[in-house]
Amino acid sequence: MPPHTFALSPAQLERFGEELDAIRAQVVADLGQEDVDYINRVIAVQRGLEVAGRGLLFFGFLAPAWVGGTAALSLSKILDNMEIGHNVMHGQYDWTGDKRLSGKEFEWDTACPADQWRHSHNYMHHTYTNIVGKDRDIGYGVLRMSEDEPWRPYYLGNLAWAALLALFFQYGVALHDLESERIVAGEVAIRERRGMLGQIWGKVKAQLLKDYILFPVLSGPSFPFVLAGNVAANLTRNLWAFTIIFCGHFPDGTEQFTEQETQDETRGEWYYRQLLGSANLTGGPLFHILAGNLSFQIEHHLFPDLPAHRYAQIARQVQEITERYGLAYNTGPLHRQFGSVVRKIARLSLPATRGPATPEQAALAPRSAGRAAA
């Protein structure tokens, strides 16, 4: 990848950072009862959907009950994972002092232990966003999602690995912090990961017990319907989460960075990288809630600790600032953004047919508007 050229001067970057800081301060000053009431409402809906879904599945031998139950349970798991779990664990509601909303204590309805996710996501991914070699969300250690990742024949299966990751996404996320690609490469001994493996197994075991043994058995004759419904609900959540999450940093136009160029980053440069490394999704209010407001990936990466339902309110201000500084604001409907991600996965499954991009090729290749001309 040719070295990144910052489109803004250091002075501009500083002002850029200050303007964004001001937006953050504005939201923080406004946080109050409405925000707590909102998240408590979402939680109440999620718990209600869960109880209703599991209840309906007990009558899953009736097709409408099975469909309704599976749908409700899927929605419950999606809400728990995204609008509630992801956002609460970012510490977005720590200011409330409510232990039930504590970022460091919250545990979510999915295979990944919350502690490990907090480390790999809050710390690693958000600090080193889109830095190749440091942000392991670039490919999760199983996919090739960057031209800078050297090609290997294994990557011919890029699309297949992506499909498998999508189907079993909750387990992919659960194993993410292990850095299994480093274990396989011999860099890390598996015995060093014993504690983490134990923690993962503890979580996976409890989830399997709940979804695939206890509820099915409790339902008596409805056993196969409850089991199928729970499998389907987990699958639905996996596919939905994968889709939304992969649209966050991979659609055409998103940029990646090297370790070198991001050393000793200023705050303005940090904001700059977060902006250009992220992409939004357009949609209605319900879509945004189900996406955990990760459809506002840009705003989320600029302000990870602001309650996510606030992103919609500040999106226009953020977009206006980026326009004034001549920077790209990457957004588009789900099908287009995800389509470009799938094409990228396919493209990166093949080795580059030529060497590093020539200046002419760089000029023709899709780039954000902010990049200085080569």
Partner 1 sequence: MPNVASSTRRPASRRLIRGVMGSKLLAALTYPHGVDRYAELVSPLALTEAVRAEVVEVDRQTPKSVTLTLRPNSNWRGHRAGQFVGVGVEVAGVRLTRPYSPAGPEQASAERLELTISTHPEGRVSRHLRDHARTGMVVDLTQAQGDFVLPDERPESVLLISGGSGITPVMAILRTLCEEGHRGPVGFLNYARSADLALYGPELDRLAQANPALRVRRGYTRGPSALSGRFCREHLDAVCGAGWEGETFVCGPPSLVGAVTAVLAEGCLPPPVVETFTSPPRAPAVDPQGATGKIRFARSDRAAPNSGLVLLEQAEDAGLQPDHGCRMGICNTCSSRKVSGTVRNLLTGECSSSPDQDIRLCVSVPVGDVVLDL
In the complex, which residues of this chain contact partner 1 (CB under 8 A)?
21, 24-25, 28, 31-37, 44, 47-48, 51, 90-91, 94-98, 100, 102-104, 107-109, 118-119, 122-124, 126-127, 203, 206-207, 209-210, 214-215, 218, 270, 304-305
Helix pair 158-167, 223-249: axis angle to 10 deg: 130
Question: What phi and psi, each to the nearest 5 degrees, are found at residue 282?
Answer: -90, 155
Q: Toward partner 1, which CB reaches closer, 207 or 317?
A: 207
CB of 179 to partner 1, least distance (A): 16
User: Structure tokens of 5?
Assistant: 């050229």
Q: Toward partner 1, which CB reaches closer, 91 or 283?
A: 91
Q: Toward partner 1, which CB reaches closer, 194 or 210?
A: 210
CB of 304 to partner 1, least distance (A): 6
**Block residue for tokens 């798991």:** 77
- Report the alpha-carbon distance of residue 324 to residue 336 in Å, rounded: 26
Q: Toward partner 1, which CB reaches closer, 158 or 293?
A: 293
Instruction: Report the candidate in 249, 17, 242, 246 with the shortest Cα–Cα distance to residue 131.
Output: 249
Strand 280-282 versus strand 331-333 pairing type = parallel
Q: Toward partner 1, which CB reaches closer, 12 or 102?
A: 102
- Report the alpha-carbon distance of residue 112 to residue 200 in Å, rounded: 7
CB of 100 to partner 1, least distance (A): 7
User: Structure tokens of 60?
Assistant: 């899953």
Task: Please calculate the CA angle 172-142-169 and round it to the nearest 5 degrees.
Answer: 20
Q: Toward partner 1, which CB reaches closer, 50 or 252?
A: 50
Q: Toward partner 1, which CB reaches closer, 174 or 341?
A: 174
Segment (H or E) for 333: strand 331-333
CB of 40 to partner 1, least distance (A): 10
CB of 262 to partner 1, least distance (A): 13
Q: Toward partner 1, which CB reaches closer, 180 or 207?
A: 207
Q: Toward partner 1, which CB reaches closer, 92 or 158?
A: 92
CB of 38 to partner 1, least distance (A): 10
CB of 230 to partner 1, least distance (A): 12
CB of 94 to partner 1, least distance (A): 5
User: Structure tokens of 230?
Assistant: 């729970």
CB of 154 to partner 1, least distance (A): 31
- CA distances to 194, 268, 304, 325 from 19, in Å: 45, 10, 16, 11
- Report the alpha-carbon distance of residue 240 to residue 202 in Å, rounded: 25
Pure H helices in the chain: 10-30, 33-57, 63-79, 87-89, 114-117, 126-127, 158-167, 169-176, 180-184, 194-208, 215-218, 223-249, 267-276, 285-290, 297-302, 311-324, 334-347, 359-364
